[in-house]
């Protein structure tokens, strides 16, 4: 941890903090009092409005109920009221000071010895007894391509001679995705149907269910305060426009995509489903896990609008990412999911601040609740690949699962579970929960 | 007009109809009583909520005021109430029967001799005294590429040997665009800044204002009733999901786009601004201008999910489209805008029903208020090109304007005006109004 980072470390990060919600003090779980991610939930099976909540251990603090109990004051009260409604959008729009005030208040209210414990115990709901929704209506969804290892591995399948295109090292490549088909963990979707490439050049495409369905292990970034159309977000101001991060599975039908994507990019190969984890982890909670962002001296150096001393000092975040699979056979046999791969966001060639600075260099406006994807986070090692396309090297080398099954691509009934967490000596481990999604048979 | 089309022609299309709003009876104007497009407006300079209105001649009928006067009954009243609020989204969501009921009622209320004339005169507002807004909050915006003449002309600039990619004749190529930067006619925007391609392969890109800024002459399609994620819209059901059409200028920075677009498609080259006309012309109003959709016998024939006898009979619509320019010099000299080109939507290689059937073949959900672009509508003749890129053949052959100016691409101060209308022997001409937008100097 360097000087600048320690400026941003405050009492909410104190590793000695413990919560009166005892499950939050267990080791190796995702939601200690140092995390306090926000989401939108309601008690399971009750057709009432969703409302904001903070995950703490195996519980959720109902922010509407907490507001009604009068436990907040000042800016934290304003922020809690914004989060107590049926969307986190208004809190996102209020900017980082509001979110920080709420975090600080929650940290005080939930820590051991807090006078408000008796008042707040009835505002807790077990996480096992809730339903979750998207934190906000997502306006625009942009997906980036920030892992050079992923870009190179995928590029090699299409262009063995020059896997990485000339623009890659100069700009964070991004494109617009579909917001209507984004859902939280638990999403199930039918295998998409579409045009699959002709067997030989000049031939006729076939129409049918995708035979090369894949997952992509990504992070999602919720925009907080937006920018006005025509105004740029400078690289050093970028963090102030980020509300927080989640896990994101950018399901991809490789065969549909390969046939359709020239010259205007992915479309039906991607827009049938995208699954995110429901709990948004704030940048503030991630501060202890920031690390240097390095561009090798013999590599292309970022252009000025994508560069800054402070971003180089702490622009990377060491978020451990994992993809797990539970096949139908494993589920039937009562076997636990098995891990396909793990990587870290610290390997990303482009960081969060660069994504925002680039996105707005032309004046494009970001709005509260907009979502950015980081692109598949593959690490430098082959085993750190964030998709089956890479793990199976284009479907040529099947991946073996512990129960004897093999996977080139996803089969019907497969459930993919993305997980993420941060840990470091001297800090309390925080996690992202899960983004879980299942492939159903095609609806022919 | 063939049999199927005449099934859809009703009393609202009767060319003999005249309105008591006398300006609606003038020839060669856009909004006769046979048109009745809807938009969202408020009296200029008053900070009150926008509300739905129907354009009639040089007036707007305020639907909120009309509802308050009790002139609607039954399904038309329900529909008018949906359109009287601060968005047309709810009317869009209600589907084609609701919109048709409102159209039929408006046609009756506004025609010569209507008993409600004295009641409704005070619900009219001159169009010269209003401000307009987007008809609905646009969720997702998808842009297609349906003109084979445009795709071929642009492809030739990049790939002289094989301008048209192998997928073009098999599927309506589309990609996701940016909804946050879409605005109605009157939009002004700063010339976008970004990375321009290196002067030579392997060189360094430069950062600065786009030097190849262009317009694109398109139609926009507002989705009405949506589809559930996972359910397809069959080609013969597609029309029932379209609320109506408008003009759309897909402003494009060719230099930014050329450098960034591989391999994931256009991004900053497009997402700084998109301008649409504010009045949404219903498919019902366009019925008299439907025409055969022809795929030449020696061409690739559409796959079954993109084909239907009824769509072949009447899937094309003869909408005349025009792009005009008013430069700063012309404005200063008091000269009228000059036309750059004209074309017709009837030349599109893919039609509206095919766009929707393809978009949803994989289960992707469309939502009320979503917007589709048709892609640049260039006709078969060089003079029918829908962009400067094509008119100037990649910037190599400047276009001469009547006042002696020349244009390879757009200059600061240039205003582009898109216009559209339909006319046919035996029908009353209907028009789309304008999509007008102006380029301001880059904000360095």
Q: B123-174, pLDDT tens digit by residue? A: 999 999 999 999 999 999 999 999 999 999 999 987 888 899 999 999 999 9
Backbone angles phi, psi at A125, to 5 degrees: -130, 135
End-to-end CA distance of chain B: 54
CA dihedral of residues A400, A402, A407, A413 (deg, nearest 10): 180
Other beta carbons within 10 angstroms of residue A39's beta carbon come to 25
User: What distance in Å separates the CA atoms of residue B38 and residue B278, rounded to the nearest whole number?
Assistant: 8
- Residues present in chain B in total: 444
Tokens of residue A64, six digits = 């509407």
Write the CB contacts of B81 (distance below 8 Å, at least 6 apart in sequence): B67, B72
Query: pLDDT-derived band of residue A1, with 50, 70 and 90 as boundaries?
Result: very low
Helix, strand, coil shares, percent, chain A, to 5 = 30, 25, 45
The answer to whether the CB of B242 falls within 8 A of the CB of B388 is: no
pLDDT at A282: 98
pLDDT at A254: 97
Least CA distance to B258: which residue of chain A? A167
Mind telling me how many Å the CA of B194 is from chain A's nearest CA?
A: 6
Among A12, A63, A53, A55, which residue's Cα sits nearest to residue A30? A55
The answer to whether the CB of A268 falls within 8 A of the CB of B172 is: no
Which residues in chain A have their CB less than 8 angstroms from residue B175's CB? 175-176, 264-267
Q: Is the pLDDT of residue B6 over 90?
A: no
User: What distance in Å separates the CA atoms of residue B76 and residue B68, rounded to the nearest whole number?
Assistant: 14
Q: Where are the beta strands (DSSP E) in A12-140?
A: 38-43, 51-56, 59-62, 124-126, 130-133
What is the residue-averaged pLDDT of chain A? 96
The catalytic site residues of A sit at 150
Q: Is the pLDDT of residue A2 over 50?
A: no
- Higher per-residue confidence, B80 vs B202: B80
**Which of A253, A304, A363 is the closest to B190 by Cβ?**
A363
Query: pLDDT-derived band of residue A4, with 50, 70 and 90 as boundaries?
Result: very low
DSSP string, A193-243: EEEEPPSSTTS--EEEE-SSEE--EEEEEEE-S---TT----GGGGGGGEE
To which residue do tokens 């390969």 refer?
Answer: A258
Q: Is the pLDDT of residue B5 over 90?
A: no
Backbone angles phi, psi at B219, to 5 degrees: -105, 145
B262 CB-side CA count, 13 A: 17
Q: Is the pLDDT of residue B2 over 60?
A: no
Which residues in chain B have their CB less than 8 angstroms from residue A174's CB? 264, 267
Torsion B108-B112-B118-B124 (CA) sign: positive
Give the pLDDT confidence of B28-48 residue by residue, as tens digits.
Answer: 999 999 999 999 999 999 999
**Which of B167, B190, B363 is the closest to A230 by Cβ?**
B190
**Which of B155, B204, B364 is the closest to A271 by Cβ?**
B364
Backbone angles phi, psi at A184, to 5 degrees: -85, 170
To which residue do tokens 């399901």 refer?
Answer: A251
Is the backbone of residue B167 left (phi > 0), alpha (psi -120 to 50) or beta? Answer: alpha
User: What distance in Å separates the CA atoms of residue A23 and residue A32, rounded to the nearest whole number?
Assistant: 8
Which residues in chain B have their CB less than 8 angstroms from residue A192's CB? 362-363
A366 CB-side CA count, 13 A: 32
Tokens of residue B307, six digits = 């084909």
pLDDT at B1: 42
Least confident segment among A3-7, A93-97, A256-260: A3-7
Which residues in chain B have their CB less than 8 angstroms from residue A211's CB? none
The percent of residues above 90 in pLDDT, for chain A, comes to: 96
* Strands A51-56 and B38-43, sheet pairing: unpaired
Q: Count interface pairs A-B at CB distance under 8 A.
A: 201
Tokens of residue A107, six digits = 């940290």
Mind telling me how many Å the CA of A175 is from chain B's nearest CA?
A: 5
Q: Which position among B13, B150, B241, B358 bears the catalytic label?
A: B150
Q: Is the pLDDT of residue B444 over 80?
A: no
Tokens of residue B51, six digits = 């509300």
* Strands B187-190 and B430-440, sheet pairing: parallel
Element (H, E) at B421: strand B415-422
The percent of residues above 90 in pLDDT, for chain B, comes to: 96
User: What distance in Å separates the CA atoms of residue A271 and residue A143, rounded to the nearest whole number?
Assistant: 12
What is the residue-averaged pLDDT of chain B? 96
Question: Best of B363, B439, B442 to disrupt the A interface by mutation (most A CBs within 10 Å)?
Answer: B363
Tokens of residue A175, six digits = 């494109």
State the Rg of chain B over Cα. 22
- In the predicted model, what is the mean pLDDT of residues A262-285? 97
To which residue do tokens 């299942």 refer?
Answer: A438
Mind telling me how many Å the CA of A125 is from chain B's nearest CA?
A: 30
User: What distance in Å separates the CA atoms of residue A356 and residue A241, rounded to the nearest whole number?
Assistant: 8
Tokens of residue B137, six digits = 């909050």
Mind telling me how many Å the CA of A212 is from chain B's nearest CA?
A: 14
Other beta carbons within 10 angstroms of residue B408's beta carbon come to 19
Give the pLDDT confidence of B278-298 residue by residue, as tens digits.
Answer: 999 999 999 999 999 999 999
> Is B311 in a helix, a strand, or coil?
helix
Tokens of residue A315, six digits = 């622009």
User: What distance in Å separates the CA atoms of residue B420 and residue B431, rounded to the nearest whole number?
Assistant: 6
The overall longest dimension of chain B from CA atoms, in Å, is 74
Helix, strand, coil shares, percent, chain B, to 5 = 30, 25, 45
| Chain-centre distance for alpha carbon B143 | 11
Is B150 a residue of the active site? Answer: yes
Residue A244, beta-bridge partner list: A222
Other beta carbons within 10 angstroms of residue A296's beta carbon come to 7
- In the predicted model, what is the mean pLDDT of residues A230-250? 98
10 Å CB burial of residue A309 (0-12, 13-18, 19+) is exposed
Among A61, A154, A144, which residue's Cα sits nearest to residue A106? A61
Least CA distance to A252: which residue of chain B? B362
Give the pLDDT confidence of B186-218 residue by residue, as tens digits.
Answer: 999 999 999 999 999 999 999 999 999 999 999
Write the CB contacts of A241 (distance below 8 Å, at least 6 apart in sequence): A223, A224, A225, A226, A227, A233, A356, A366
Give the pLDDT confidence of A293-346 residue by residue, as tens digits.
Answer: 999 999 999 999 999 999 999 999 999 999 999 999 999 999 999 999 999 999
B260/A265 Cβ within 8 A: no
B261/A261 Cβ within 8 A: no
Other beta carbons within 10 angstroms of residue B253's beta carbon come to 30
pTM of the predicted structure, to 2 decimals: 0.97
Which residues in chain A have their CB less than 8 angstroms from residue B373's CB? none
pLDDT at B96: 97
User: What distance in Å separates the CA atoms of residue B229 and residue B386, rounded to the nearest whole number?
Assistant: 34
Other beta carbons within 10 angstroms of residue A27's beta carbon come to 7
User: What distance in Å separates the CA atoms of residue A207 and residue A190, rounded to the nearest whole number?
Assistant: 15
The overall longest dimension of chain A from CA atoms, in Å, is 74
Query: pLDDT-derived band of residue A361, with 50, 70 and 90 as boundaries?
Result: very high
pLDDT at A7: 77
Q: Is the pLDDT of residue A350 over 50?
A: yes
The answer to whether the CB of A392 falls within 8 A of the CB of A409 is: yes
> Is A418 in a helix, a strand, or coil?
strand
**Which of A165, A253, A265 is the closest to B175 by Cβ?**
A265
Mind telling me how many Å the CA of B279 is from chain A's nearest CA?
A: 23
Write the CB contacts of B82 (distance below 8 Å, at least 6 apart in sequence): B90, B91, B94, B98
User: What distance in Å separates the CA atoms of residue B127 and residue B44, rounded to the nearest whole number?
Assistant: 10
Using alpha carbons only, give the angle A351, A215, A318 rounded to the nearest 5 degrees: 30
Using the 8-state DSSP alphabet, how is residue A93 labeled?
Answer: H
User: What distance in Å separates the CA atoms of residue A272 and residue A181, rounded to the nearest whole number?
Assistant: 6
DSSP string, B354-372: HHHHHHTTT-PPP-TT-EE
User: What distance in Å separates the CA atoms of residue B30 and residue B39, rounded to the nearest whole number?
Assistant: 14
pLDDT at A204: 97
B180/A229 Cβ within 8 A: yes
> Is B131 in a helix, a strand, or coil?
strand
A265/B171 Cβ within 8 A: no
User: What distance in Å separates the CA atoms of residue B414 and residue B330, rounded to the nearest whole number?
Assistant: 9
The answer to whether the CB of B243 falls within 8 A of the CB of B92 is: yes
End-to-end CA distance of chain A: 54
B173/A363 Cβ within 8 A: no
pLDDT at A3: 44
Using the 8-state DSSP alphabet, how is residue B280 labeled?
Answer: B
Per the omega criterion (within 30 degrees of 0), is the bond before A263 cis?
yes
Which residues in chain B have their CB less than 8 angstroms from residue A228's CB? none
B363/A189 Cβ within 8 A: yes
Which residues in chain B have their CB less than 8 angstroms from residue A370's CB? 180
Query: pLDDT-derived band of residue A6, with 50, 70 and 90 as boundaries?
Result: low
Backbone angles phi, psi at B206, to 5 degrees: -105, 155
- Residues present in chain A in total: 444
């Amino acid at each position: 941890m360097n000087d600048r980072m320690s400026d941003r470390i405050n009492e909410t990060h104190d590793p000695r903090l413990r919560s009166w919600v005892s499950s939050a003090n267990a080791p190796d779980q995702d939601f200690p009092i140092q995390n306090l991610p926000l989401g939108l939930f309601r008690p399971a099976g009750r057709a009432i409005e969703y409302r904001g909540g903070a995950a703490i251990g195996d519980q959720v603090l109902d922010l509407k109920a907490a507001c009604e109990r009068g436990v907040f004051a000042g800016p934290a009260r304003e922020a809690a009221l914004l989060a107590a409604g049926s969307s986190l959008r208004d809190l996102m729009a209020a900017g980082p000071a509001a979110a920080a005030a709420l975090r600080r208040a929650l940290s005080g209210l939930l820590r051991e010895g807090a006078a408000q414990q008796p008042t707040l115990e009835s505002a807790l709901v077990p996480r096992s007894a809730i339903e979750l929704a998207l934190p906000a209506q997502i306006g625009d969804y942009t997906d980036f391509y920030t892992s050079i290892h992923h870009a190179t591995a995928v590029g090699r399948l299409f262009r063995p001679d020059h896997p990485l295109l000339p623009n890659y090292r100069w700009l964070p490549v991004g494109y617009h995705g579909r917001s209507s088909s984004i859902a939280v963990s638990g999403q199930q979707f039918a295998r998409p149907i579409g045009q699959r490439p002709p067997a030989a050049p000049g031939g006729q495409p076939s129409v049918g269910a995708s035979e090369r369905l894949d997952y992509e292990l990504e992070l999602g970034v919720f925009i907080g305060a937006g920018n006005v159309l025509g105004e740029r977000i400078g690289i050093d101001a970028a963090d102030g426009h980020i509300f927080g991060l989640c896990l994101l599975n950018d399901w991809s039908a490789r065969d549909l995509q390969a046939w359709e994507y020239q010259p205007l990019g992915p479309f039906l190969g991607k827009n049938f489903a995208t699954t995110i984890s429901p709990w948004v982890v704030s940048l503030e909670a991630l501060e202890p896990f920031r690390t240097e962002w390095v561009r090798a001296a013999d590599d292309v150096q970022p252009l000025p609008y994508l560069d800054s001393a402070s971003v180089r000092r702490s622009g990377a975040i060491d978020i451990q990412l994992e993809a797990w699979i539970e096949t139908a056979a494993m589920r039937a046999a009562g076997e636990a999911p098995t891990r396909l791969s793990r990587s870290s966001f610290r390997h990303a060639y482009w960081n969060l601040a660069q994504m925002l600075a680039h996105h707005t260099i032309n004046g494009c406006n970001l709005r509260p609740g907009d979502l950015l994807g980081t692109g598949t986070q593959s690490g430098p090692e082959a085993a750190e690949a964030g998709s089956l396309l890479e793990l199976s090297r284009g479907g040529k080398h099947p991946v073996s699962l512990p129960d004897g099954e093999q996977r080139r691509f996803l089969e019907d009934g497969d459930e993919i579970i993305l997980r993420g967490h941060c840990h470091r000596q001297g800090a309390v481990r925080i996690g992202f929960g899960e983004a879980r999604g299942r492939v159903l048979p095609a609806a022919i």
